A and B are shown apart, each in its own frame.
Chain A
């Protein structure tokens, strides 16, 4: 185990060092030349080269394939070295050795911290961990890319799975099991995110601050603290709640609290059940990811996810939004590098693009457009930004937008604002989008999204109280920084402009959100043949009338106005900070460092991410804004975390009264935000000490605590891991459970795994509609002929019969008792593995 931990560390450091010359060339405007994100750059490019070539049938999924991809990456690095001599890079490294040591320390501490956290509770049992494990195992077993879907045999994965490719690649490359790779990966991602956050804040401070590098390196530690450790205020509230603060007991023994009821966060609204010592509830930490409380029109609870980084790592949620994190910092570094560039490349990127010509015509004409960056920047940016799509497609448009906005803002800063900049923004965004799709074409061709367009949010505005519980720890440093920035800017017109924009956009969004309501109301009462569309709209709201829905909508918006106002203020301040100044005198008088503007841009984009779900959300299988809030808020946290870390650094760089006061208030808020991680660590250690074995372990699929598999089933899984690839059948059941455990652990593709998740990944049940029933029939039928037909129909190789199968298929439906019939398998098939209660039968079908 220690060897594996060490090898992963070495590989991460090694890949970073290998690609550093490339980073050195790509990030000439960053003070650290991209050193802090070089690990992420290396893993992304290595994974990309392997995946792409494998997807086109040029590389097999073997260590040899990875090594060849690595050799190609080395070729890229050699190309990068053509511009810079190794001696120059060596001299730079020597000069920056203090900073490099700091980066390495942050990385090492982050890695060690997560290793310890996972080692105390490594089991991959809860939430979607089985799914993540299934992806890793399936990729490990896939002969080439695209990888096999672990839970829908004969199909490839339909998900943004790049992160899992990288994890599986590292697992196979270093020879560790998937169960261990999972925990090593979450530790590695945490450490890479830590140095990513550290590096971006350091680079921003380097633009602004003239202080010594050592001081800057220390100040930059705020980056990982604000992004990764600082949490929402639920932890602090949990602490108060558990101690009965704000609760009073009436004479008849009933607990009451206006505060907690007003706050309206599930679990916290109920009186504490703990002892006087303030013991916390089991899994108390879960609630922090559910502080936004939405209800349907009848007042029923609707699940909304509002994860934040520390929660994700505490849970070890190896999901795309977490796997993306180090690469988000890579994108931020790329964007900052572009923003800081002077925009006069030797060979600028030129392309023919369609443009509008309102004056002379023709209306649309193609023009040669020249961008203020090189072709190589464009190519690498497309691959890196496209990688975000493949890692977590939700984030892709935002980071493309951020990149394009940073470019436009830079151009505006250099050559002044004009409306043509808007076209530049759209054009660059479009180009990066197209290039990203082309770069990751095999993914886009095989991905069928569950997304079904946008839907308006009429009845679930976010309450101010809950929004502040969620983001309060970041709001203070953000607002403080923006006020400082505006004061320094000293341009009142900017304030008007910024707030005008903020209010205008909010109003526009509000009006847009009303359009479907109005249209549906009109349609529902019209004689139009499409009147049913209007009725369908209202059916989503329990069939209330237009007027009732409008009333509820406006009433709820009114009641939750504090949330909206908070966003309007924050966005207004950020927009004002970025607002172009026309008065050149003012510009000269108070020159704003570009790092301030970049931080402002991050705040603005974060604001947009939080504001938009107030009015619209992306339609998925859940038909409400659960995932939109989840994905948007998460990215907002990252952007705001960086801006808050930088902003607080700016405000605290001087020692005066104002700064001291600000620092004191900030210290209080940060302490409140750190209550959650401290209590979380305490809980983790306590539960580890409560374990009977107290065995520190990193393989999440071994040991007595991994109860998804019995001891016999673990043996069966080991057997299947060595057996030839073939379609496997096991009991089918609900998500988040031990159903599909054999396929998830062995990598043998199941005929069907978690149907609910397949539905989410593919947006429909069309591909597997009959499979669940057929599996039921396969297990329960008395007829061998029927079973054999099903085996032939699906090309089934392995049939698992174990306790779960026997209990699942011992069921009474419509007064008919069904029972798993194993006799037919025993008579006509060969039992290739048998141990205790589990038997694996093999058919004569072998995978091609």
Chain B
């Protein structure tokens, strides 16, 4: 008699969370071109796949693994982002590691939270973000927990090979454990299992050898891993080249703006005494505090560093959210759901008014304005003022509603209704943000997690060159192109053009068919009269400088609209290659004046 294997509801839900998480992370990965940071990692992987000499940066795990992907398939933006997205999706499994400690229901809630967390999804879709390292950490822990130390060793080694991102984790763990030991917590690392050490070390050692050196083809992968230490330390020196800090308040602001639910409930968990009384929860809570402190204290902090705090915040949030997910007693349903639906409706109305207000471009409130003058105002100003009133009144009404429920029934019911209403609204909000992050909205650079430079229209550059090449040399990629900017993004974009080459300078006696240069040469090239140029925005960057949030916060909040600047390059085409075909134009290109 064969045993019938069934999937439990819990397993099914985990699989669903994983599927959702992976789907959001993997969908449309190639829709955006790279920015310079992403391109630099992908370009290294591409060079390794072609066995070219290359100085590998401090994230060898990405470079080595992606080079294998390039070798097996081909090189593309989507494939370059595939592994970070895939391993980033593994963060959904983190709650499985702590299932016993935080409770099964809490773990499931956390799994869904992690699957749909907008910032974690966004970071997973980005080359060079810490999400791969986070994924390796989760897998290492999971395999260790499941008594598979060999595989745990493999992923622990991959975590170390992730280089720079792993430093924050290691420091966070060291400080957390040290604090726990100081506070009298004797064995913060849990039960020792000496029999697992050997297979763990073998797995790790083999990974170091095989992937860290790519079968000794690139032995410097191991030193690239160690390079993470000076790179991290350099981040503490304001004068260092790697210094690209995000204001610490922006990092803090990103939490409520991208994961209000996780933050709210995670914060509640951290503030509760009960959390600090249980060993494992104390560890998690302390780890979050330590990692947040490390991130905020680090001068070269990036919003992306939150990737180490968010998963644990979600675990803690799950603990608080789980009790609220239980069924409400029949007699209380009307009160709880009535309050929840009212809150949801009011918040929806509130949101709609915000959208409406963001569309008002001109407001004229006269000096010495009093309420009596309201009728004499123009329509737009009236509308704006009404929105502002609603903006304040709606939260007050929700608060009053909660007070009524508390005084008439109970605090518990009021909280359940409030959290359900807020939770459903937050889910809608998160999904909206999520879609924006997946570039289903538009190409822009104003997300808080975005690096300094965001993807621009580098893909248009390739199209423009192909269009120049075809009529000139008969195919789309054999045109002679010389570019004077030593940018990984250009190396990457032009990698399939055999006659494209980088030259630091172009001497006056050279005249390649196409020259790609920055704006500094415009005057000189125009003066030469033998080239015609077209501007292409290679990358975008926020132009709100060190501000925490853009000045026009409401527009940004709803549509992510804020001032953006562009990094231009000019594609100079020699006059004679235009013979016999029409002027080219691309959607983003601008003629050079």
B220 A844 Cβ-Cβ under 8 A: no
* Neighbouring A residues of B506 by C-beta, 8 Å: 830, 844
User: Which residue of B224, B227, B507 contacts A828 across the interface (Cβ within 8 Å)?
Assistant: B507
A58 B220 Cβ-Cβ under 8 A: yes
Asked whether A62 is an interface residue with its Cβ less than 8 Å from the other chain, the reply is yes
Asked whether A68 is an interface residue with its Cβ less than 8 Å from the other chain, the reply is yes
Asked whether A57 is an interface residue with its Cβ less than 8 Å from the other chain, the reply is yes
A64-B224 CB under 8 A given contacts A59-B219, A846-B503: yes
User: Which residue of B213, B216, B502, B505 contacts A830 across the interface (Cβ within 8 Å)?
Assistant: B505
Asked whether B191 is an interface residue with its Cβ less than 8 Å from the other chain, the reply is no
Asked whether B539 is an interface residue with its Cβ less than 8 Å from the other chain, the reply is no
* Neighbouring A residues of B269 by C-beta, 8 Å: none
Asked whether B58 is an interface residue with its Cβ less than 8 Å from the other chain, the reply is yes
* Neighbouring B residues of A58 by C-beta, 8 Å: 213, 216, 219-220
**Chain B contact surface mostly:** loop
Asked whether A65 is an interface residue with its Cβ less than 8 Å from the other chain, the reply is yes
Asked whether A60 is an interface residue with its Cβ less than 8 Å from the other chain, the reply is yes
- Closest A-chain residue to B53, C-beta based? A848
A63 B230 Cβ-Cβ under 8 A: yes
Mark interface residues in A26-66 (1 if CB within 8 Å of B CB, else 0). 00000000000000000000000000010001111011111
B226 A724 Cβ-Cβ under 8 A: no
A844-B226 CB under 8 A given contacts A57-B219, A64-B58: no
Interchain nearest-CB distance for A185 vs B (Å): 20
Q: A57–B55 Cα gap in the complex (Å)?
A: 12
Taking CB atoms and an 8 Å cut-off, the chain B residues in 112-147 that contact chain A are: none
Q: A58–B216 Cα gap in the complex (Å)?
A: 8
Asked whether A829 is an interface residue with its Cβ less than 8 Å from the other chain, the reply is yes
B223 A843 Cβ-Cβ under 8 A: no
A829 B226 Cβ-Cβ under 8 A: no
- Closest A-chain residue to B226, C-beta based? A67
Mark interface residues in A835-848 (1 if CB within 8 Å of B CB, else 0). 00000001110101
Q: A538–B264 Cα gap in the complex (Å)?
A: 98
B230 A827 Cβ-Cβ under 8 A: no
* Neighbouring B residues of A173 by C-beta, 8 Å: 230
| Interface size, B (range) | 20 to 34
Q: A569–B55 Cα gap in the complex (Å)?
A: 61
B223 A67 Cβ-Cβ under 8 A: yes
* Neighbouring A residues of B370 by C-beta, 8 Å: none
A67-B508 CB under 8 A given contacts A58-B219, A844-B503: no
A67 B229 Cβ-Cβ under 8 A: yes
B507 A62 Cβ-Cβ under 8 A: no
Q: A71–B223 Cα gap in the complex (Å)?
A: 10
Asked whether A143 is an interface residue with its Cβ less than 8 Å from the other chain, the reply is yes
A844-B510 CB under 8 A given contacts A60-B55, A62-B227: yes
Q: A58–B217 Cα gap in the complex (Å)?
A: 9
B505 A843 Cβ-Cβ under 8 A: yes
* Neighbouring B residues of A724 by C-beta, 8 Å: 486, 504
A62 B55 Cβ-Cβ under 8 A: yes
B220 A59 Cβ-Cβ under 8 A: yes
Interchain nearest-CB distance for A822 vs B (Å): 15
A59 B508 Cβ-Cβ under 8 A: no
A846 B507 Cβ-Cβ under 8 A: no
A-B pair number, CB within 8 angstroms: 77
Taking CB atoms and an 8 Å cut-off, the chain A residues in 809-829 that contact chain B are: 827-829
* Neighbouring B residues of A65 by C-beta, 8 Å: 220, 223, 226-227
Taking CB atoms and an 8 Å cut-off, the chain B residues in 471-529 that contact chain A are: 486, 502-510
* Neighbouring A residues of B509 by C-beta, 8 Å: 828
Interchain nearest-CB distance for A51 vs B (Å): 13
Interchain nearest-CB distance for A825 vs B (Å): 10
Interchain nearest-CB distance for B224 vs A (Å): 6
* Neighbouring B residues of A64 by C-beta, 8 Å: 58, 220, 223-230
Mark interface residues in B56-69 (1 if CB within 8 Å of A CB, else 0). 00100000000000
Q: A842–B53 Cα gap in the complex (Å)?
A: 24
Q: A59–B227 Cα gap in the complex (Å)?
A: 11
Asked whether B537 is an interface residue with its Cβ less than 8 Å from the other chain, the reply is no
Q: A173–B223 Cα gap in the complex (Å)?
A: 13
Asked whether A832 is an interface residue with its Cβ less than 8 Å from the other chain, the reply is yes
* Neighbouring A residues of B502 by C-beta, 8 Å: 846
A60 B508 Cβ-Cβ under 8 A: no
Asked whether B317 is an interface residue with its Cβ less than 8 Å from the other chain, the reply is no
B55 A71 Cβ-Cβ under 8 A: no
What is the number of residues of chain A that contact chain B, defined by CB distance less than 8 Å? 27
* Neighbouring A residues of B224 by C-beta, 8 Å: 60, 62, 64
* Neighbouring A residues of B213 by C-beta, 8 Å: 58
Q: A70–B226 Cα gap in the complex (Å)?
A: 10
Interchain nearest-CB distance for A721 vs B (Å): 13
Taking CB atoms and an 8 Å cut-off, the chain A residues in 56-108 that contact chain B are: 57-60, 62-68, 70-71
Q: A460–B260 Cα gap in the complex (Å)?
A: 90
A62-B223 CB under 8 A given contacts A67-B230, A143-B55, A844-B510: yes
Q: A441–B53 Cα gap in the complex (Å)?
A: 24
* Neighbouring A residues of B222 by C-beta, 8 Å: 59, 68
User: Which residue of A68, A829, A848 contacts B223 across the interface (Cβ within 8 Å)?
Assistant: A68
Taking CB atoms and an 8 Å cut-off, the chain A residues in 437-457 that contact chain B are: none
* Neighbouring B residues of A830 by C-beta, 8 Å: 505-507
A832 B228 Cβ-Cβ under 8 A: no
A60-B507 CB under 8 A given contacts A67-B229, A67-B230: no
B223 A59 Cβ-Cβ under 8 A: yes
A842-B226 CB under 8 A given contacts A57-B219, A59-B219: no
Interchain nearest-CB distance for A141 vs B (Å): 13
- Closest A-chain residue to B220, C-beta based? A60
Q: A318–B321 Cα gap in the complex (Å)?
A: 68
- Give the most central of B53, B216, B504: most A CB within 10 Å: B504
User: Which residue of B219, B220, B504, B510 contacts A842 across the interface (Cβ within 8 Å)?
Assistant: B504
* Neighbouring A residues of B55 by C-beta, 8 Å: 60, 62, 143
Q: A173–B233 Cα gap in the complex (Å)?
A: 11
* Neighbouring A residues of B229 by C-beta, 8 Å: 63-64, 67
Interchain nearest-CB distance for A720 vs B (Å): 13
A842 B505 Cβ-Cβ under 8 A: yes
A68-B504 CB under 8 A given contacts A58-B219, A59-B220, A60-B55: no
B507 A844 Cβ-Cβ under 8 A: yes
- Give the most central of A67, A827, A829, A832: most B CB within 10 Å: A67
* Neighbouring B residues of A60 by C-beta, 8 Å: 55, 220, 223-224
- Closest B-chain residue to A827, C-beta based? B508
Mark interface residues in B201-214 (1 if CB within 8 Å of A CB, else 0). 00000000000010
- Closest B-chain residue to A174, C-beta based? B230
Taking CB atoms and an 8 Å cut-off, the chain A residues in 482-530 that contact chain B are: none
A832 B223 Cβ-Cβ under 8 A: no
* Neighbouring A residues of B507 by C-beta, 8 Å: 828-830, 843-844
- Closest B-chain residue to A173, C-beta based? B230
Mark interface residues in B371-401 (1 if CB within 8 Å of A CB, else 0). 0000000000000000000000000000000
* Neighbouring A residues of B216 by C-beta, 8 Å: 58
* Neighbouring B residues of A67 by C-beta, 8 Å: 223, 226-227, 229-230
Interchain nearest-CB distance for A841 vs B (Å): 9
* Neighbouring A residues of B505 by C-beta, 8 Å: 829-830, 832, 842-844
* Neighbouring A residues of B504 by C-beta, 8 Å: 724, 832, 842, 844, 846
Interchain nearest-CB distance for B525 vs A (Å): 14
A63 B227 Cβ-Cβ under 8 A: yes
- Closest B-chain residue to A843, C-beta based? B507
Interchain nearest-CB distance for A555 vs B (Å): 63
16 residue pairs bridging A and B, Cβ less than 8 Å apart = A59-B220, A60-B223, A62-B55, A64-B58, A64-B225, A65-B220, A66-B226, A70-B226, A830-B505, A830-B507, A843-B505, A844-B503, A844-B505, A844-B507, A846-B502, A846-B503
5 nearest A-B pairs in the assembled complex, by CB-CB distance: A64-B227, A67-B226, A830-B505, A63-B230, A65-B223
Extra contacts besides A58-B213, A846-B502 (7): CB < 8 Å: A57-B219, A62-B223, A64-B227, A827-B508, A828-B508, A829-B507, A830-B507
Chain A residues within 8 Å of B, Cβ to Cβ: 53, 57-60, 62-68, 70-71, 143, 173, 724, 827-830, 832, 842-844, 846, 848
